[in-house]
Structure 1
Amino acid sequence: MGVGARISRARRFTRLTQRQLAEKSNVSLSLLRKVEQGDRPATPALTAAVARVLGVSVGDLNGQPYMPESDDSAAHATIPELRRAIVAYDDESVAVLVTFADLENALDRVREGMRRARYSDMTAELPDVIRGLHQLADTESAGRHLEEIHSALAYAYSKAMLFAYQYGYLDLAGLAAERCGWAADRSGDPIWPIAAEYNRALIHLYSGAYVGGLRTIDRAYAATKSLPKTPDLMAVRGALHLRGSILSARSLDHDAAESHLQEARTIAETVGNSRYNNYGTGFRPSNVDIHSIAVPVEMSDGTTALSRAEHIRLAPSVAPSRAGHYYIDLSRAWLLHGNKNRSFHELEKARAVAPEMTRNHPQVHETLRALARTGRGTDQLARFAKWANVKI
């Protein structure tokens, strides 16, 4: 069942007509009809708006988490243990006897797994990393080393949040984001609490709480103004602008979204090739280019997205996780533009570079259903849909 069918079922359960739901959600009646019929993919903004009116979660309408038949089963199987580590972080019945250096090395492996969008490579170690860091913090006296432990904890929780988010466990992602903020406040690093707010804004974004997310971004940005303008700080500022650009785009505020993009691009040019700690935000000049495509796509403007894409060439050094998002957004842009062959071609590129992320991305599922519904019904598409566990 796709998002449109789930919307239709929930709407009938609440005894709303299509017109009533469209009016209460502030979306076009004709668009809602097309989405329910499967003729148009449901955008994240539409899904969030309808979810609020229907009293369900975005995850409910997306059908997340997507339970795999085989390929991602190992990653999904780690979720219960990760949940226990986050909820019962101070449970002394589980001993993790490792050094801080061992845990830092494990975090490096987690970082690389996230960069490569190979989430199953990182999940097995993450619960014990969280437990181990908490055990070290419990035995360490106040001082710089304790702050370093809490900095590592903030990073570990931020990666736990992203993993849970990518696989559709939004309640767990929200809890991890809160724990990231808790650790950041104890890190002794004034930039970490700002980066933690950047993470919290992602939960707002997914939940459709765009106003709250933008307030979070504004609050975090205001906190940067009293700090020295180091490359580390500027990178986090740039990341805040990029998240603000997507929040604004989902709110259909074109001017604000473009303003955030321009500020981020200016910062990227300013930091240049400087070495800096981006606090897990992944801020890079290439990420500004990727967001410049995502912004118009979120506002259903495929023409602008494709026009900008003509001037973008992703370098081989771009992280697979970033490149995968880029190709998924290009696929959405081509679908909006009416070119279904190119849309499917971009999905294939996303699969090649970041298979786990592509398989679990709600917009990939929606795009596949739209391609099948609008006549792009080939054996190639059917095989792709089967791989992604999407019924078409």
Structure 2
Amino acid sequence: MGTIIDPAPGEHVAMLRKARGWTQTQLSDRASVSTSLLSKIEVGDRALTPEVAAALGRAFGTSMADVLGRASVAADDEQLLAQLRSAMRDYDMPDPQAAPENRVTAGLQTADRFRDAADVAALIILLPGLLRSATTYAHTANTPQAWSALADVYSTVYWLAARHRWMDMAELAVTRQRWAVEQQPNPVAEAFSSRDRAGTYLNFGDVERGLVVVDRAIAAVQSAPLGAADRDLAVGILNLRGMTLAGRLQDKAEGKREAQRHIDSAWRAARSFPRDIDAHGLTFGPRNTFTHVLATQVDLGRPRDALALTDDLGQALEGLPPTRVAPTRINAARAQLDLGDRDGALENLSHAFDAAPRWPASTPWAAKYCVSWPPCTAAPTPN
């Protein structure tokens, strides 16, 4: 995707601060954020978390999304985004020509591969046509499976939008996702949609309400007529979101209690799966639970507990997609930095860089992005 090089989030904060003529001390006082942390954020030594971004937004008198800054796109990609937004507007307008189930299935499989590889350039080409096909298929078939497939497409739209901080599109995507799963009873798909809805609260720094969404969804799953495996899958995927939210609570004592509750439940659910499984574009099982627990322990200020989860991080991450390997390596590096192990942190950051998804510049654009997706026939030249 021809994404323009935008200022880093911390640099963007500094720009907003200087535009108001404020010093770092003045901003930190208004936002109730330490000057030391603000200084590190502005120079890129610390990540700008949604919670801090929300606090800075209140101080600036603007939205958290404006503080984070929206990722810009090149002019050629604006047309692709316009096509995606148009397909989202037409959520209740199926095409006159039928969309075969196998086309939608193939498109979802391709979208999952692109998502695992964080191949946003491919997704932005794929999604408008896939969304229209899935919309037509859902309206025509009118089965729980068909509506669930449409919800899965909206989940991928949410992932793409949240990644680029297009918060309006992200919120619309989860609203459409919830609408789709409510057309026919499907408790598992509803749980996955709640997981994404809770993610919008996480993105806006409102972790308390995000936890409410998760807990309500878990209660609904536990009372639904489901088999043990489906129940564990739905509860487990919600627990992963719950522990992430809990790790971001400002009250760390409460965060530890809430996180441990979700961690314990996630491990119990993971026992039903000898290995990780893919469902609705997401992954659940023992190894993905491990990566979430490690990240949560780091967020809670427990670096030793995080690093004690495994003696061989490489083996623990073997076979996981780059979108999970790279962040876990970074989280391990955060824990090592907290313990003063700069050499170990540098090694993990090097592994994270190596794991980060990329593709050869020589790969033909259309050949790469249009595999298994017949409607994708007019891919643009990459920027």
Q: Could you state the TM-score of these two structures normalised by the residue count of structure 2?
A: 0.78
Task: Point out the more displaced range, 33-42 or 99-108.
Answer: 33-42
Q: Is the 8 A contact 1:151 1:183 kept in 2?
A: yes
1:282 aligned onto 2:283: yes
Q: Is the 8 A contact 1:232 1:277 kept in 2?
A: no
Residue number among 36, 56, 70 corresponding to 1:64 in the alignment: 70
Task: Point out the more displaced range, 236-245 or 336-345.
Answer: 336-345
* Unpaired segments ≥5 residues, structure 2: 1-6, 360-383
What secondary structure does 1:282 align onto? strand
- Rounded to whole Å, the distance in 2 between the matches of 1:25 and 1:301 is 25
What letter matches 1:233 in structure 2? R
1:48 aligned onto 2:50: no
Q: Is the 8 A contact 2:307 2:335 kept in 1?
A: yes
Residue number among 77, 83, 86 corresponding to 1:81 in the alignment: 83
- Rounded to whole Å, the distance in 2 between the matches of 1:82 and 1:290 is 32
1:27 aligned onto 2:25: no
Q: Is the 8 A contact 1:64 1:168 kept in 2?
A: yes
Question: For residues 306 and 88 of structure 1, do their structure 2 counterparts lie closer, same or farther at Cα, with a shift above 3 Å needed?
Answer: same
Q: How much does 1:62 deviate? A: 3.3
Q: What's the counterpart of residue 117 of structure 2?
A: 116
Q: Is the 8 A contact 2:211 2:242 kept in 1?
A: yes
Question: For residues 35 and 28 of structure 1, do their structure 2 counterparts lie closer, same or farther at Cα, with a shift above 3 Å needed?
Answer: same
Task: Point out the more displaced range, 224-233 or 309-318.
Answer: 309-318
Q: Is the 8 A contact 1:231 1:274 kept in 2?
A: no
1:214 aligned onto 2:211: yes
1:103 aligned onto 2:104: yes
Residue number among 141, 151, 154 corresponding to 2:148 in the alignment: 151
Q: Is the 8 A contact 2:98 2:137 kept in 1?
A: no
1:308 aligned onto 2:309: yes
Q: What's the counterpart of residue 293 of structure 2?
A: 292
Q: Is the 8 A contact 1:232 1:276 kept in 2?
A: no
- Rounded to whole Å, the distance in 1 between the matches of 2:348 and 2:296 is 18
Q: Is the 8 A contact 2:27 2:59 kept in 1?
A: yes
What secondary structure does 1:101 align onto? helix
What letter matches 1:216 in structure 2? V
1:1-392 alignment, distance < 5 Å? 1-11=7-17, 13=19, 18-19=24-25, 21-36=27-42, 40-65=46-71, 67=73, 78-90=80-92, 98-140=99-141, 145-227=142-224, 228-251=226-249, 252=252, 253-269=255-271, 271-273=272-274, 278-310=279-311, 312=313, 313-355=315-357
- Rounded to whole Å, the distance in 2 between the matches of 1:40 and 1:100 is 46
Question: For residues 333 and 62 of structure 1, do their structure 2 counterparts lie closer, same or farther at Cα, with a shift above 3 Å needed?
Answer: farther
- Rounded to whole Å, the distance in 2 between the matches of 1:66 and 1:356 is 20
Q: How much does 1:315 deviate? A: 4.7
Question: For residues 58 and 17 of structure 1, do their structure 2 counterparts lie closer, same or farther at Cα, with a shift above 3 Å needed?
Answer: same
Question: For residues 347 and 96 of structure 1, do their structure 2 counterparts lie closer, same or farther at Cα, with a shift above 3 Å needed?
Answer: farther
What secondary structure does 1:308 align onto? coil
Give the alignment's Cα RMSD to 1 decimal: 3.2
What letter matches 1:48 in structure 2? A
Q: Is the 8 A contact 2:13 2:68 kept in 1?
A: no
Q: Is the 8 A contact 1:238 1:264 kept in 2?
A: yes
- Rounded to whole Å, the distance in 1 between the matches of 2:275 and 2:336 is 35
Q: Could you state the TM-score of these two structures normalised by the residue count of structure 1?
A: 0.77
Q: How much does 1:195 deviate? A: 1.5
Q: How much does 1:241 deviate? A: 1.1
- Rounded to whole Å, the distance in 2 between the matches of 1:331 and 1:75 is 35
Q: How much does 1:176 deviate? A: 0.8
Paired residue total: 347
Question: For residues 48 and 349 of structure 1, do their structure 2 counterparts lie closer, same or farther at Cα, with a shift above 3 Å needed?
Answer: farther
Q: How much does 1:34 deviate? A: 4.0
Q: Is the 8 A contact 1:236 1:278 kept in 2?
A: no
- Rounded to whole Å, the distance in 2 between the matches of 1:274 and 1:121 is 28
**Matched residues, percent identical?**
28
